[in-house]
Amino acid sequence: MLRIFPLLLIPVVMYVLIALGYGLAGHDVMEHFLAQSLHTFSMFSGDKWDISLGDLIILIALLMLFFEVIKATRTTRRELLNHGLSALTFVIALILFITTKGFSTSVFFFVTAMTAVDTIAGYTIGIVAAEHDLGMGRAGTD
């Protein structure tokens, strides 16, 4: 069941909940909120590194993308359903980014871009893996 679930839906839902919590505030309000520092790390160089909520959402999305690419190497029916749900997640994220107030931020753009990469990579990797499983690899490429 977990293999069917598109993991990049997690950062999309996180952002939606934050945006709804702010009453679908405008772009400037969301940008300011996402840029607020959650924690400051002291580096060996003496510099301070601030991590913001937006940074955390992007980090979570990157980790989810990594696991989605790993899941894409399987060629069962579950993974085909996962690819379809990943495409649906991308379409929903894209519509939110284009049409909904408070979603046209860099953070949500990168999350949306990651859902697009997940969709394209999932289908591409799935096709290559299926060709390999069926022994249909092109001559000289194996």
Q: What is the pTM of this model?
A: 0.85
Within a domain: residue 33? yes
Side-chain half-sphere CA neighbours of 3 within 13 A: 13
Within a domain: residue 3? no
Within a domain: residue 142? no
Handedness of CA 124, 129, 134, 139 (dihedral sign): positive
Within a domain: residue 1? no
Rounded-to-5 percentages of helix, strand, coil across the chain: 65, 10, 25
Q: CB burial class (10 A; 0-12, 13-18, 19+) of residue 21? A: exposed
Q: Which domain holds residue 97?
A: 9-134
Write out pLDDT tens, residues 34-91.
999 999 999 999 999 999 999 999 999 999 999 998 888 877 788 888 889 999 999 9
What are 129's two structure tokens? 């893996």
Within 8 A by CB and 6+ apart from 107, the residues are 15, 34, 54, 57, 58
Within a domain: residue 86? yes
Query: What pLDDT score does 139 carry?
Result: 46
Query: What pLDDT score does 124 carry?
Result: 87
- For residues 15 and 97, the answer to whether their CB atoms sit within 8 Å is no
Within a domain: residue 60? yes
- Measure the CA–CA gap between 136 and 90, rounded to whole angstroms: 30
Within a domain: residue 28? yes
Query: What pLDDT score does 134 carry?
Result: 63
Q: How many domains does the chain have?
A: 1
Within a domain: residue 140? no
